[in-house]
């Protein structure tokens, strides 16, 4: 039985009709799973509403992924979810196979439930992703309301091996003309509004809560520009290298549309998305 929850907002099928038509038109991805099982990715194909004077049937068809994926779902009651405009939508349905159209068909059971995106979701970037925060180095004589980084040029890339430095600079050169005055720090995790990275003892003095920071984020080869970031914390960080002292720096920034989309897609694809599925399973059992 469906209970009340602050995490899920109930929507009627009539309220969802425009959204279902949109995901079918845009052929968006969605996840389908039998309760307690692993989800399977499908792409929306078509949405139809069959109405009579005393009844209405809502059908959502999906592109078939072949018998190996389709067969376990046919004839079963399933849960499914898709994302649209920074919200996740969940519902239930019964699956059948349309052999003529070579598609799976979900006969929708009833209400939908919307779960807003958690703005605090963070993606662990180390070691699975190559994510760096790059700051432009300024001379001590430069003056600006926005502080980037000031340090001696001989120590620009003290934390990186020569080969890593060359590869990273080559990626940056594709979109940034002058990369010789940039210094980068490896990200530990990132969200839509913040990033955390490690710095050496020498670099800690350049980060304080009185300044604002502008920098580039190099994210697996893609470049994102961040402006007006604030320092949230600066704490000791345990380093694997003996004799070295590192600190973890956390910056907060206003969301960047392109970066938000990129992080949202990765979060959706990561194992963290299974948490939302389990939450919905628990929710419908209340």
pLDDT single digits (tens) 93-107: 999 999 888 899 999
Examine the pLDDT at 150 and tell me if it is beyond 90. Answer: no
Q: Is 135 left (phi over 0), alpha (psi -120 to 50) or beta?
A: beta
Longest dimension (CA), the chain: 79
Mean pLDDT score of the chain? 80
pLDDT, residue 38, reads 86
Of the listed ranges 12-26, 67-81, 232-246, the one predicted with least confidence = 232-246
The CA-atom distances, in angstroms, between 130 and each of 177, 187, 198, 222, 246 are 21, 8, 14, 10, 19
Domains 9-116+271-284 and 122-255 share a fold: no
| Strand pairing class (122-124; 103-108) | unpaired
| CATH architecture entry for 9-116+271-284 | Roll (2.30)
- Global pTM reads 0.50
Selected residue with higher pLDDT from 163 and 120 = 163
Q: Which fold has domain 122-255?
A: Thrombin, subunit H (2.40.10)
Examine the pLDDT at 5 and tell me if it is beyond 80. Answer: no
Residues in the chain, overall count: 286
Q: How confident is the model at residue 180 (pLDDT cuts 50, 70, 90)?
A: low
Span 185-195, average pLDDT: 91
Q: Which residues of 38-56 are buried (b: 16+ CB within 10 A; e: fewer)?
A: ebbebbbbbbeeeeeeeee
- Residue 254 per-residue DSSP state: P
pLDDT, residue 239, reads 54
Residue 89 to residue 82: CA distance in whole angstroms = 5
Q: Is 86 left (phi over 0), alpha (psi -120 to 50) or beta?
A: left
Q: What is the SS3 assignment for 194?
A: strand
Residue 218 to residue 182: CA distance in whole angstroms = 12
pLDDT, residue 286, reads 61
- Residue 17 per-residue DSSP state: H
Examine the pLDDT at 59 and tell me if it is beyond 90. Answer: yes
Domain regions of the chain by residue span: 9-116+271-284, 122-255
pLDDT, residue 1, reads 34
């Amino acid at each position: 039985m469906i209970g009340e929850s602050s995490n899920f907002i109930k929507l009627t099928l009539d309220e969802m009709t425009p959204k279902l038509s949109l995901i079918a038109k845009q052929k968006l991805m969605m996840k389908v799973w039998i309760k307690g099982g692993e989800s399977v990715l499908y792409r929306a194909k078509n949405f139809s509403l069959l109405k009579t004077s005393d009844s209405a049937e809502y059908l959502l068809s999906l592109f078939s992924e072949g018998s190996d994926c389709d067969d376990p779902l046919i004839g079963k009651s399933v849960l499914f979810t898709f994302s649209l405009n920074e919200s996740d939508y969940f519902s239930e349905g019964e699956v059948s196979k349309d052999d003529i159209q070579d598609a799976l068909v979900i006969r929708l059971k009833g209400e939908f439930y919307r779960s807003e995106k958690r703005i605090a979701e963070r993606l662990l970037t180390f070691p699975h992703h190559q994510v760096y925060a790059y700051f432009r180095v300024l001379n001590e004589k430069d003056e600006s309301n926005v502080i980037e980084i000031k340090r001696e040029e001989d120590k620009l890339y003290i934390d990186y091996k020569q080969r890593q430095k060359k590869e990273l600079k080559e990626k940056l050169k594709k979109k940034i003309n002058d990369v010789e005055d940039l210094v980068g720090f490896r990200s530990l995790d990132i969200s839509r509004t913040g990033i955390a990275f490690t710095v050496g003892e020498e670099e800690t003095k350049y980060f304080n809560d009185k300044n604002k920071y502008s920098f580039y984020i190099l994210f697996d080869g893609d470049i994102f520009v961040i402006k007006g970031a604030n320092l949230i914390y600066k704490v000791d960080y345990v380093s694997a290298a003996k004799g070295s002292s590192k600190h973890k720096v956390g910056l907060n920034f206003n969301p960047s549309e392109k970066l938000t989309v990129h992080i949202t897609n990765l979060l959706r694809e990561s194992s963290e998305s299974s948490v939302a599925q389990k939450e919905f399973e628990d929710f419908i059992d209340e």
